[in-house]
Structure 1
Amino acid sequence: MELSEEWKSFFPIGASTVSPLLQSHSPSLPLGPLRFIPNPNPNPLFSSSSLLPFLHPLPHLLPSRFLLTSSLLPSTTSSVASLYSPPQNHAAPSIFRNRIHLLPYPRSPNVIVFFPTGPNDDKIGFFTLTVKDSRSLVQLDVNGDVFRASTGTAHRILSISVNPVADFGLTDSHVIGYLLASTLYSVHWFALRHNTVLERPCVFYLGGKMFKTCPVAHACWSPHILEESLVLLENGRLFLFDLESHVSGGCFKGTRLRVPWNDSELSENNRVWLSCEFSWHPRVLVVLRSDAVFLVDFRLKECNVSCLMKIETLRMYAPDENERFLTLSRAGPDNFYFAVASTSLLLLFDVRKPLVPVLQWMHGLEGPCFMSVFSLSMLRSHSREDAFKLASESGFCIMLGSFWNSEFNIFCYGSILPFRKGSIASKINPAICAWELPFEINLSGHECCCGSCLLRKEFSKDALPEWIDWQLKKEIVLGFGVLSNDLAALLCEPDDNGGFTLIRLMSSGRFELHRYHASWAQAKYSEHCHDQVFCLDRHLLQPASDEKYKFPKSFHYLKLDYLYAYTRGTLSRILAAKLKKICVDAQDKEPLCAEVHEFLCEKLHACGLDQSRSCPAVTSVFNDVKLPASLHEVALRRLWADLPMELLQLAFLRYAEFEEVVGDLDQNRLALEFLAVPNLPQLPPFFLRKSSPHSNDNIVGPVIPFPFLLVLNEFRNGYSNLEGGEFSVGTELGLKYKEIMQVVGEIAVSACGPTHLNDHAVSLAEDGEETWVGFLKPKSFLLYHPVALNSSATDLEQGKSVCSNNIYDTFIFRVPEKKSNEQTESVGQEIFDDLSPVELRFDAPVKKLEPLGLKAYNLLKRQMSKWQENFDPYKEFCVQSRFEKNS
């Protein structure tokens, strides 16, 4: 496909097979190897528990996680949770930034390593790395710990930036560099000097600036004037600080740069100011916002602001509405070029060509928050051959990734022309292309990327609870810095194609040196890497506590073998085998408590069941249906009513008996809770109950699951083939459900038109085995299907339905008898029956309403009537259910 030069950069590399600006290795374009493979054995420097980063306790459930794991309806939680955009960072912000910053020591084989340390990461920690006789030595304090410098506050240091002095030794100040450290609301400046007496670097605090009204978004040094630094706040305000204009230790007052931002844009909540950098001139700045990149020019009297890149220009390859810019960095070959990463794309742009990217890549990384640009000659230094020297001197590498997710990719680019010996075309030609496809680099150096290890890694993540991030249980890289070419050459022998050496900090508090060499092939790992790929053995990033756990630990294990057998459909087989070994004849045993026996008999008798209960009628089950109940609940009550009293009593105990049973099983009694049996006449398993008040006379239950009792009843009746697996609890429940459906067809009227009773609703006139003499008035029940439970086949497939089985979504309840309109003296609780189509039941003593109560009732009735008259769905429901409220 032929494209003009202007359109080639609009096709991101990796988005399709057509990449006009992608160049690969060929004889005419000898790029050299662009993969960097770690050596198998890193060189440990030292480790200390004081180097562990401090993390505040993370929230166990974020708003979206809490809603999705709550007991609300799935459709409701999904819609509400979608309003909470997932936060980009789940842990402390310092984890997502590079914690190591290197400052080369002038004219010596040393480098100073800076990092946050202290109980709250509130101090600057540093040490000197020296190379002597090809060996790395670490210079620490007299106690064998790192040196420390304080900002004067206890606020956590979020980022560090260093600026070396190139003309060290030309003045008497012995300043070798400057350092700034930014917290959430402040920025602090330091000077780094060489102490000729101690022969080591020292850090001197120069001062700081507190921003009380707005947090600090970013702070950086000027590459043009060493003493100048730029600070960007989260409200878009810019401040310029000059160290020469302040006395050491004095109060810093930066110059606020008056930028004519659009006030309406500043007020947008979804627009976040992220970063700032100096461009090719000391008064030309590049500022990054989540939706745009701006060029701010202060060379003239009036500030000029222009847009370099908009997030809308990426919509062709990044159509997600949540697409936004994340990070910014200066890039080569000069200060005209910058790299910016969004949620999906990585862009290289030139400030001289607004809104037109030079290069684009699809990076495929999750939330990249770190980006740094290196010269290819720095990453391929100290090589035995110089066949690719021209390419190394002309190429650049963008390292993009996330410390939190442990993912980093390298994107290489350079001149588009072929290289010839002695050619300077790459320096004068602005045309730039990508070199090879981006590739992954493993900063930890000990993970295997084979298919089996990657699969184990994903399974290990899924095994963790939802509120635990896997990064908190795995050793990850918290920061790194690449050593200079001269210093790295003193540590190792030359590589075939060159390489680089980095120093890194692991989350276990260990500093390491690791060598990477340029290679054509991918990394090959030894067998021991397969065992170390993803070891979730301990919390490495959780805040450590010196206080030990004071209370005794005890563990209780619950055997769930019966539950497991029930889910597999083998409960009857396993239970029958165990019962034969026990050989317990339940009929010869006396009831555990006569009081419980009498109590249950009273409950059943109140519901229309006699004491013999040889063959309880279906009518007794429907007599108990006062409040709305699903047909599945009615069938379940029918099965409970069929159980003999000897087995039924096993499921209900006095609380004192329950404690005796548990005490016999385990001396350390388990704190288990059961519901109390209500005083209202109900059929077991007794719905709408309260928790037990832990009274010895209180009857609780059921303490034994119903499937267990049902199989036990079949074993008691001598069922012949329980071990063969022919008996099924689900089948028994299905048969009772059929029986209930037959009766429903005779006694209930539908409030929503034809019901889905399938083939079970048959006329009872055709049934000759059982007659319904003395039953209640015909059509005295209402069959109702709640609108909230309506679901189509499509909803069921997509998981949007509350219930996936229609046996739970049809309810039946008794219609109250129509009362006369004659005014009578006040009565008891039945006065509320004309306010609702459902017969209300109160678990309270029967009392007559006093005059004051009647007055409140009449007020409530008027308000209720007004709502009923204005609510059309309710009026339609009353017509269909034949319910008429009394005036």
Structure 2
Amino acid sequence: MNIIPEEWKSLFPISSVFKPPLFLSNPSLKPILGPLIFNPKPNSATVLFSSSCLLPHLPPLPHLSLPRFLLTSSPDSAPLPSTSHSIASLLGPHNHKHDVVSSLLHNRLEVLQCPQINTIVVFFPTGQNSDQVGFLQLVLKDSTFGVKADESGEVLGLRGPSNYRISRISVNPVPGFSSSRGNDSSVTVGYLLASTLYSVQWFTVKVGDTSLNLGNKVSLSYLGSKVFKTCCVVHASWSPHLQEESVVLLENGALFLFDLESRPKTHNFKFKGTRLKVVWDNGDVSSTSRNYRWLSCEFSWHPRVLIVARSDAVFLVDLRSRECSVTCLMKIEMLHMYVPVEKEQFLVLSRTASDDFHFVLASDTLLLLCDVRKPLMPVLQWAHGLDKPSDLDVFRLSELRSHSREDMYKWASDSGFCIVMGSFWNCQFNTFCYGPSLPTPIGSVASKVAELRKSFYAWELPSDVLLPGHECRCGNCILREEFVKDALPEWVDWQQKKEIVLGFGIVNKELSSLLSEPDEFGGFTLIRLMSSGKLELQRYCASWDPVKKVEESHRESSHFKDYFLDSLADEEYKFPRRFKYLKLDYLCSYLNDKLDEVLDTKMKIPSKIVQGTELFSPEYHELLCKKLRACGFGQFRSSPAVTSVLNDISLPTSIHEVVLKRLWSELPMELLQLAFSNYPEILEVLVDEKRSALEFSAVPDQSQLPPFILRKPSCRSSKWSQKVKPGDALVGPVLPLPILLTLHELRNGCLNSQDEQSGKFSVEAEISRGCNEIMQVASEMTVSKPDPGIVDEQAGSLANAGEETWRCTQKPKPFFSYHPVAGTGSPMDHIRGKSVFKDDRFDTVISKVSEKKPAPSGSEDNVGLELFDDLCPVELKFDASDMKFKQKELSAYNVLKKQFVEWQNSFDLYKESCSHIESNS
């Protein structure tokens, strides 16, 4: 491998190829590199602060998404299983999880360290919409941190003018500030910016105000903000060169530079900023496919040199001259040797702690260390093996191996670096250590060559770091965790039930050395923010081998807590509580089969209407009766025969609908006047102390009985005016049929309609008796179409066919019945007794057989609607005036009919139905 040129060695990713050339791993190297694995120190976790203000305020998840509801509905509750599955496939996956995950992608904890005054300030989003910058002051005293909060013991917070949810917080410390100050002065120790979806807010962090006798108390002051009304904010970062400068990247690629020194001195707190004139669409910079998104922007080695990352490329933007220069540093196509670039994207970018020339870049598969001085050539690569990493940071190894008893590995600690990368949502973080080649004797040729090339090598393989610090990764605990995942409902993601880390920060080595005793190989102190609302302190130490078993966590029965990540049950409801109560006594009595008792009680209550008041005028009474007769009511003086009701059927109708038609036809005109009316005669109801008119659908003009099929919706206005008058269309039913049937029986004394079991009138019993009678007669008058693949017992007809047969056996039967395929399930479901509907009165449909008439020839003129009679075995009725077709229309009809016949011949179920009907006609 030594024959490979130095610039080509970086093209072989560590953990992806056998013996990569830029990889140092050997037992003989341990005395030089030292331990590079970091494990949580047992019994070192300390809870600094706990409050509901630290909880992530996320929108609540639904108990079951619509696609999952359609797919998991039981057969008894899903009337159309095939349709529900097709709808679920069209809806696709529920994307609410993506909304929750996107809110937890970035580090929610930002640390500002002030070792001069032994103070650390931690910042995080807080508030009911995470729209405030919350902070706590940690003061080091007696080898522990004391927490300073407000007077009520809660977190300190400050909100900007906008109420947008804060997505990211970034601080910029002021280096080398002096702790000495005057009597009436405060010292600026850092600057803070909070970016939301459409805005960026700037703050200043100050310490002390002796005039108020507050000592070293930290305060946060609002400086101003910038709202981008037309485009979303992608990223905002501080300049490491000029502490008061920051750059903002929008989702359309626009860059804005802000300088706090040049902010307006007025009190409107609105920043303008300077839009940088960057042209992306030129030459190699433009992307062939516009399927990309902007990621982040960082300052490079000069205050006017930026690194801008996109999901398909990384650019170096040089603004030092009048004409902006854009250079492509990395392309996603360069990774084609080891990853499929069609699905690969860059995910996150960060500058390194070594110098301003290097930066680290992570894609779906690879982690790259790059140098701005070497475009299109990575310095070092790893195959990281993480799922969608979202957080990336680089530390000096000396920061992570500080405060050791023996300084055996000083060269490696001072020369090496450690990349910490992972995902907060997936609870996975890995460390990637790298540094220069092994030290060589000073003055030798090898040392001079190493100074010229300055190649970086990967030190050992990547290792995982237990960021929560109290998870046991032994085999038993991992297996128990997998079992618990399987036990959770499918709509619950296991991260919602698990305590995860939302953010972390590593304590400065100067302060960390004051918190604990020295470790054998050194270590670091971590401050982490937990999803349970805790701020914790944890000590990590460098080790040779990873620790998989944590004793205190191993003893627990489960890793999952009894709470949801987005559960905010104890949150105070900020909106006024207004409840509306609906009186459902009639519905409740109907469901409990006590409708007659409630109506009898209501009828005994005296009416508030003055005696002698006429509700309807005689003219209106006569008009209403005329309209009701035109719609099919009142054609039977007594209870109509079953055959008469069946002859009134024009469209496919279920047994239950036939019974309802018969019951409607039995009602006297006096009760029908209560069920149907027009808007001028309908009394308004009291809703929220205001009179409001109810809305009903209009009754069709065709002669038919309820339930009406395909009738037009109501055309009334919510508020009548002088210009818009209420119409006189017949609407209803205003009262449901069970109410009218009960009133009718109460009026007749309930002599002929008694429930045999309870001795009272029952609407359901009345409907059931009517269904039995209809099925008995219809079984003799209809041709039943058997379902293919169903045994004779399960294909049962409408009733027992052995009682009485249709006497006119020589005549063709005028009706046919069938079971809709969508409502009955598969044939095997019928055999196993798993039909969706268990009641024949709902899943059996009756229809009249169309009378065979000679079809008019195409040469005839003035042919009417009878032209369509031979297209369907069902009798067709048109809601249209009589019309005639001439030769031109007949020619078009013949063309359409030919296509329709071809479809009929290709539809097997339709052909089978037609042949079965014709054979019995």
- Assess if the C-alpha contact under 8 Å between 1:159 and 1:182 holds in 2: yes
- Distance in 1 (CA, whole Å) between partners of 2:356 and 2:310 is 19
1:244 Cα offset (Å):
1.5
Q: 1:251 aligns with which of 259, 264, 270?
A: 270
Match among 785, 788, 791 for residue 631 of structure 1: 788
Q: Distance in 1 between matches of 2:441 and 2:563?
A: 55
What's the counterpart of residue 191 of structure 1? 204
Write the mapping of 1:445-594 to structure 2, written as runs, cut at 5 A.
Answer: 445-523=469-547, 524-526=549-551, 528-529=553-554, 531=556, 533-543=558-568
Question: What is the DSSP-based 3-state SS (H/G/I as helix, E as strand, rest coil) of the residue aligned with 2:462?
Answer: strand
Q: Distance in 1 between matches of 2:173 and 2:135?
A: 15
**Amino acid paired to 2:462:** P
The question of 1:298 aligning with 2:311 is answered no
1:859 to 1:382, Cα distance in 2 relative to 1, 3 A: farther
CA contact (8 A) 2:311 2:347 kept: yes
Deviation at 1:268, TM superposition (A): 6.8
Please report how far the alpha carbon of residue 473 of structure 1 lies from its aligned counterpart in structure 2 after TM superposition.
Answer: 2.3
CA deviations over 1:141-197 (Å, ceiling 9, x no partner): 222222222223322221111111113129966211111111111111112222142
Q: Give a deviation string over 1:659-710, Cα, whole Å, max 9, x none.
A: xxxxxxxxxxxxxxxxxxxxxx99999734999xxxxxxxxxxxxxxxxxxx
Corresponding residue number in structure 1 for 2:819: 687
Q: Does 1:37 align with 2:39?
A: yes
Contact persistence 2:60–2:566 (CA under 8 A) = no
Report the CA distance between 1:19 and its aligned residue. 2.4
Q: Deviations over 1:344-373 (max 9, x none)?
A: 221111111111111222222222111111
Q: What is the DSSP-based 3-state SS (H/G/I as helix, E as strand, rest coil) of the residue aligned with 2:11? A: coil
Residue 529 of structure 1: how far off its partner (Å): 2.6
- Give the CA deviation at 1:329: 0.2
- The residue number in structure 1 matching 2:873 is 839
SS at match of 1:869: helix
Which residue in 2 is equivalent to 1:808? none
Matches within 5 A, 1:316-335: 316-319=337-340, 321-335=342-356
The answer on 1:869 being equivalent to 2:898 is: yes
* CA 850–85 in structure 1, closer or farther in 2 if over 3 Å, else same: closer
Matches within 5 A, 1:111-122: 111-122=120-131
Instruction: Tell whether the 8 Å contact from 1:447 to 1:532 is kept in structure 2 after alignment.
Output: no
Query: Structure 2: how far apart are the matches of 1:16 and 1:857?
Result: 80
Change (3 A) 1:603 1:159: same
Offset at residue 638 of structure 1 (A): 3.6
How many positions carry a matched residue from both structures? 664
In 1, distance between residues paired with 2:269 and 2:57? 30
Is the Cα–Cα contact under 8 Å of residues 38 and 541 in structure 2 kept in the other structure? Answer: yes
State the Cα distance separating 1:270 from its structure 2 match. 2.5
SS at match of 1:27: helix
Return the offset for 1:257: 0.9
What corresponds to 2:676 in structure 1?
A: none
Listed as ranges, the gaps of 5+ residues in structure 2 are: 74-79, 569-574, 583-763, 804-812, 824-846, 859-864, 909-913
> What letter corresponds to residue 540 of structure 1 in structure 2?
L
* Counterpart Cα distance in 2 of 1:350 and 1:85: 41
> Equivalents in 1 of 2:491, 2:566: separation in Å?
15
Report if aligned partners of 2:848, 2:875 keep a CA contact under 8 Å in 1. Answer: no
- CA–CA separation in structure 1 for the residues paired with 2:441 and 2:580: 70
CA distance in 2 between counterparts of 1:475 and 1:84 reads 25
Label 1:7 to 1:852 Cα distance change in 2 as closer, same or farther (>3 A). Answer: same
Q: Which amino acid aligns with 1:366?
A: D
Distance 1:96 1:492 in 2: 32
SS at match of 2:7: helix
Change (3 A) 1:284 1:138: same
| Equivalent pair of 1:112/1:129 in contact (CA under 8 Å) | yes
Give the Cα separation in 2 of the matches to 1:868 and 1:834: 9
Aligned-residue Cα RMSD (Å) equals: 4.7
User: What is the CA–CA distance in structure 2 between the aligned matches of 1:547 and 1:453, rounded to whole Å?
Assistant: 48
Q: Could you say if the C-alpha distance between residues 821 and 6 of structure 1 is closer, same or farther in structure 2, counting changes exceeding 3 Å? A: same
> Secondary structure in 1 aligned to 2:551?
coil
Is the deviation greater in 525-534 or in 542-551?
Answer: 542-551
Q: Partner of 1:281 in structure 2?
A: 302
CA–CA distance in structure 1, aligned partners of residues 916 and 872 of structure 2: 12
Q: Given the superposition, is the C-alpha separation of residues 873 and 521 from structure 1 closer, same or farther in structure 2, using an over 3 Å criterion? A: farther
In 2: Cα distance, 1:498 partner to 1:430 partner:
27
Which AA in structure 1 matches 2:187?
H
Q: Deviations over 1:593-633 (max 9, x none)?
A: 899679547635643599xxxxxxxxxxxxxxx79864134
SS of the residue 1:457 aligns to? helix
Whether 1:52 and 2:36 are equivalent positions in the alignment is no
Q: Secondary structure at the match of 2:27?
A: coil
Contact 1:67 1:77 in 2 (8 A): no
What CA distance in whole angstroms lies between the structure 2 residues aligned with 1:160 and 1:99? Answer: 7
Using the alignment, how far apart are the partners of 1:100 and 1:123 within structure 2?
A: 13
Give SS of 2:33's match. coil
Q: Calculate the TM-score normalised by the size of structure 2.
A: 0.63
Residues 415, 429 of structure 1: 8 Å contact kept = no
Residues 644 and 822 (structure 1 numbering): CA distance in 2 closer, same or farther, change over 3 Å? closer
SS at match of 2:120: strand
TM-score w.r.t. the length of structure 1 is 0.66
Amino acid at match of 1:217: V
Using a 3 Å threshold, how does the CA distance of structure 1 residues 858 and 9 change in structure 2: closer, same or farther?
farther
**Aligned residue type for 1:381:** S
| C-alpha contact (below 8 Å) 2:855/2:867 kept by paired residues | no
Q: Give the aligned partner of residue 213 of structure 1.
A: 230
SS at structure 2 position matched to 1:56: coil
Q: Which amino acid aligns with 1:101?
A: E
Structure 1 residue 66 displacement after superposition: 8.4
What secondary structure is seen at the aligned counterpart in 1 of 2:461? strand
- Report the equivalent of 1:368: 389
Bigger shift: residues 225-234 or 833-842:
833-842
| CA distance, structure 2, for counterparts of residue 475 and residue 549 of structure 1 | 39
Is residue 226 from structure 1 mapped to residue 383 from structure 2 by the alignment?
Answer: no
Matched, 1:441 2:465: yes
Paired with 2:363 and 2:292, the residues of 1 have a C-alpha distance of 14
Give the match for residue 237 of structure 1. Answer: 254
Q: Once the two structures are aligned, what percentage of the paired residues are identical?
A: 46
Amino acid across the alignment from 2:194: A
SS in 2 for 1:607: helix
CA distance in 2, matches of 1:287, 1:48: 38
Matches within 5 A, 1:581-620: 600=772, 603-604=775-776, 606-607=778-779
